[in-house]
Structure 1
């Protein structure tokens, strides 16, 4: 039985009005109806969806502005539908809002990332058969919704004419194991997803698992993530929930066939349509979004990039609705007004937006050398400078403070690192002139660890005139035990755009872990997720001769 369309309620109109004021979307042009739909897949299961149809005023164009396809695993409730469907329907767009297989009324079993490629193709086939389909569509949605777009673009439909993809990965393996250590936000995300339809869970319990609200996170989950062996500890907590999490843990090799259906770099090779990418400097997927832009831009694809001073939740859509409306209006109707240059970048420190023809822009390298007495300087250190060292204890791991976490991330005061004995902190003298960095900073270290089974967490922060440190960019890497420690270890940090003002200081932070952002190194040859044996690791960095350096991509205009 097909449900009839339902007109927007008064309460819905009020919610849309208040939401519109918050996100700056501008005035509505119409109301809309919503129709519940079931979409058949090739294997017989059906996906639940809502179809939004604008109620166009008399005398307006006969057809809607365009059709937007949204695939979502987080339900179709008021909050998420406002940002991804309703705000567009109230401005003349059709929107098909589909729940991912195994979620929110859709049939089948939820297995993150594995079915989106085939299911999205089946949705498009079904759309083409509908009387309201006018021949083309665009795709939209952040995070997992964006991943679903990359899965569709693995085999791009010819009638898909544009895509808006904020804060989203195209490669699930890269996120889970790309550093060589397991990304533990996969556990908190899996906890949220496995409880999404649990009517017995309290409101606060469900709220606690929304990314960005870590202050409500379950202490039981925190204890499970901190337990050893990690896999056993998580198994006791999850029971039979989130079976995919344990598949992740059992496949640390990103090239394993398990990940094939969850990796969509092919989409970057095949996509030809205009694409708007949106990210934040403190998003959990920033590195992948920057990679997507560079790859597509080099191919000559019409791709635009916006990077703000945002976390994952902030970058998902709270501050970019006007850009999305302009972009979709331009590429669905050819009479919109999206005229921005390829890259629009927020430069922290100067706190201003910049328009650029590409990202990163041309820069010149400036080198800061690691010095004795925990300092950084523009001149090489003395030839006999003593090495610096610290000990990482897996049973008391160095904590994650801010940065690119799914929750509890962002630009924060990370001064506490300077007081820890398991962290090396190198800080420059106050700068005598502004220094602006644009792109990927790199750290070159002559480094060794005993035992050789170890990780490195490297961060660049800024210390202000009051001695308070705030993070800018970072990198995590599990080290190759057999590497040649006589050669520099080259670590390329995540891209950033930051202006160090006169009087501020550059700080380099080096640690052996960042927990609970990443599964800690246990210091042994054994599997880090299945062992409870731990060995403390002594890290040593050679300083003499200027062999350990921080390379800055400086703005040549400074």
Structure 2
């Protein structure tokens, strides 16, 4: 922290940021006019210049600093959302392009440089005359990853973090349950290679990806099929898609999740129930709580993108209150409960002391004729056994079961009517009777299944749905698991289906949906046993669900 006198420059925020700022409603009143000092060159760990814009309140006074590091450029939407809005509330905002993006020197890599470059930026901050020694970080998605990277060895000035729909484990972004999360991988590749070059370039890249998506995701082999849709080779994307095993040396050092173990920096976590990274947010909340770190959790009815769109007034208010409390000694805006979640189906917010709250895991048993029952079914007067076949279907990778909604990074994410999907012959449904009373589900959901196949190569996709009085089936949460290769006898597998907070209303029915995939969200299992990216043969598989299979729901006390 320098003792030199700083005279604020006369620069204004860019016109695009000011125009977008004027469109927002429902935000706190501004306290100051915002100014900007553009295109500063901050030396990275190896001396490469990191292009940086400095936003500030146009007023005399001592203001804390927020560090926002992004691989997506420094223009819209980051300049108004973080630069302008937070400068108006009394913060210096350092908005920086990560190495190899937005004009910064060096070469971008998905994880290898962020910790060192973050520390180098803090070293630079210490020499700035306007830096008062109080530092916070905030931002969404990969902007959350760089926060966790800095927190691996937190500088003494770091007093608060706000991680919004944030990432800490790149492997889990690309792979889940042994399968490649193909559509998200392509969206990440497109965004990382185009958004930092400007809004026009990003829009064109998004349209190009959409135009080529079907061809790319159905190509045999899959390796390299993205090149035309993304406009060229992306080496780090090749590497991420090619290494499905989290223990592979390729992923060494990728996860920054361990930063939460023993962290003492107060951290607010924000996500949405249909966010592709909600599981990572919940994981970090648990780590912070176990380490005794001051933390707070907000999960709304949002997707990865809608949290920063229709959810922005709530997200901004929560973020601002946390930063003021820990950087400005003003806790007046904090809510008393550490956890606030939106209850799907009910459409209301609920404050909780912890997540998950105390619950009892209830089992809903899969029964013949597509029934979902509270009691285990009987077959011919005897309890069902694991060898009793309940239902089967044929999964054909040449006509893969499509993905509908769910936790994607794109605008197609979220809750959708699953009626057309469930009418397919390769989708099983097990449905309860109409409920006599509300059922609240708060916590992690899972399907414990007995499964057999005729080839030994298959995936199982499980989805919890809420069926209303008119028969509309709306997805709540889901998951996919690649079955271990084995003989035909039933295998017991547990398919984690993420956490949720949802109320099934009286008259509604609980439904478990089972299929052999969700394409192109997940790369299809070709049924041949070949590696996902190199497979050239498509082999259909028959999948059978057996008795003693169950849906596990964390049942919470109903508040009347």
Q: TM-score, normalised by structure 1?
A: 0.92
SS in structure 1 of the partner of residue 355 of structure 2: coil
SS in structure 1 of the partner of residue 93 of structure 2: strand
The corresponding residue for 2:37 is 35
Counterpart CA distance in 2 for 1:366 and 1:263 is 33
Q: Is the 8 A contact 1:329 1:336 kept in 2?
A: yes
The corresponding residue for 2:260 is 268
TM-fit CA distance, 1:376:
0.9
Residue among 99, 102, 105 paired with 1:101: 99
Q: Is the 8 A contact 1:364 1:556 kept in 2?
A: no
Q: Is the 8 A contact 1:446 1:485 kept in 2?
A: no
The corresponding residue for 1:400 is 403
Q: 1:404 to 1:10 in 2, by over 3 A?
A: closer
Q: Is the 8 A contact 2:41 2:50 kept in 1?
A: yes
Residue among 341, 349, 367 paired with 1:345: 341
Residue among 331, 352, 355 paired with 1:336: 331
Residue among 412, 421, 436 paired with 2:416: 412
Counterpart CA distance in 1 for 2:503 and 2:452 is 32
The corresponding residue for 2:225 is 233
TM-fit CA distance, 1:107:
0.8
Residue among 141, 155, 158 paired with 1:157: 155
Counterpart CA distance in 2 for 1:197 and 1:98 is 11
1:188 is the counterpart of 2:187: yes
Counterpart CA distance in 1 for 2:266 and 2:14 is 36
TM-fit CA distance, 1:208:
5.7
Q: Could you report, residue by residue, the CA deviation over 1:123-156 in whole angstroms, capped at 9, with x for unpaired residues?
A: 1111112222111200010011111111111111
Q: Is the 8 A contact 2:57 2:89 kept in 1?
A: yes
Residue among 379, 383, 387 paired with 1:383: 379
Q: Is the 8 A contact 1:68 1:140 kept in 2?
A: yes
Q: Could you report, residue by residue, the CA deviation over 1:508-539 in whole angstroms, capped at 9, with x for unpaired residues?
A: 00111111111111112210111111211111
1:143 is the counterpart of 2:132: no
Moved more, 242-251 or 384-393: 384-393
Residue among 301, 307, 327 paired with 1:315: 307
SS in structure 2 of the partner of residue 494 of structure 1: strand
The corresponding residue for 2:385 is none
Counterpart CA distance in 2 for 1:208 and 1:117 is 32
Counterpart CA distance in 2 for 1:109 and 1:381 is 59
TM-fit CA distance, 1:195:
3.0
Residue among 350, 357, 368 paired with 2:353: 357
TM-fit CA distance, 1:113:
2.0
Q: Could you report, residue by residue, the CA deviation over 1:135-194 in whole angstroms, capped at 9, with x for unpaired residues?
A: 120001001111111111111112100000011111101221242111111112212332
SS in structure 2 of the partner of residue 5 of structure 1: coil
The corresponding residue for 2:239 is 247
Residue among 11, 18, 24 paired with 1:7: 11
Q: 1:554 to 1:9 in 2, by over 3 A?
A: closer
Q: Is the 8 A contact 1:278 1:307 kept in 2?
A: yes
Q: Could you report, residue by residue, the CA deviation over 1:5-48 in whole angstroms, capped at 9, with x for unpaired residues?
A: 343269568536524x42x2211111122112100123221100
Counterpart CA distance in 1 for 2:431 and 2:276 is 26
SS in structure 1 of the partner of residue 332 of structure 2: coil
Q: Is the 8 A contact 2:367 2:390 kept in 1?
A: no
Moved more, 356-365 or 473-482: 473-482
Q: Is the 8 A contact 2:272 2:302 kept in 1?
A: yes
Mapping of residues 51-62 of structure 1, within 5 Å: 51-56=54-59, 62=61
1:505 is the counterpart of 2:500: no
Q: 1:53 to 1:235 in 2, by over 3 A?
A: closer
1:280 is the counterpart of 2:282: no
TM-fit CA distance, 1:209:
4.9
TM-fit CA distance, 1:114:
2.1
Residue among 362, 365, 368 paired with 1:366: 362
RMSD: 2.3
Counterpart CA distance in 2 for 1:208 and 1:298 is 45
Counterpart CA distance in 1 for 2:307 and 2:216 is 29
Counterpart CA distance in 2 for 1:225 and 1:5 is 50
Counterpart CA distance in 2 for 1:388 and 1:221 is 33
The corresponding residue for 1:73 is 71
Q: 1:500 to 1:557 in 2, by over 3 A?
A: closer
Counterpart CA distance in 1 for 2:137 and 2:187 is 27
SS in structure 2 of the partner of residue 467 of structure 1: coil
Moved more, 262-271 or 164-173: 262-271
Q: Is the 8 A contact 1:16 1:86 kept in 2?
A: no
SS in structure 1 of the partner of residue 551 of structure 2: strand
Q: Is the 8 A contact 1:208 1:218 kept in 2?
A: no
Q: Could you report, residue by residue, the CA deviation over 1:449-489 in whole angstroms, capped at 9, with x for unpaired residues?
A: 22112111100001111111100010111122149955532
The corresponding residue for 2:28 is 26
Q: 1:197 to 1:67 in 2, by over 3 A?
A: closer
How many residues were matched structurally?
540
Q: Is the 8 A contact 2:452 2:488 kept in 1?
A: no
Q: 1:260 to 1:69 in 2, by over 3 A?
A: same
TM-fit CA distance, 1:237:
4.6
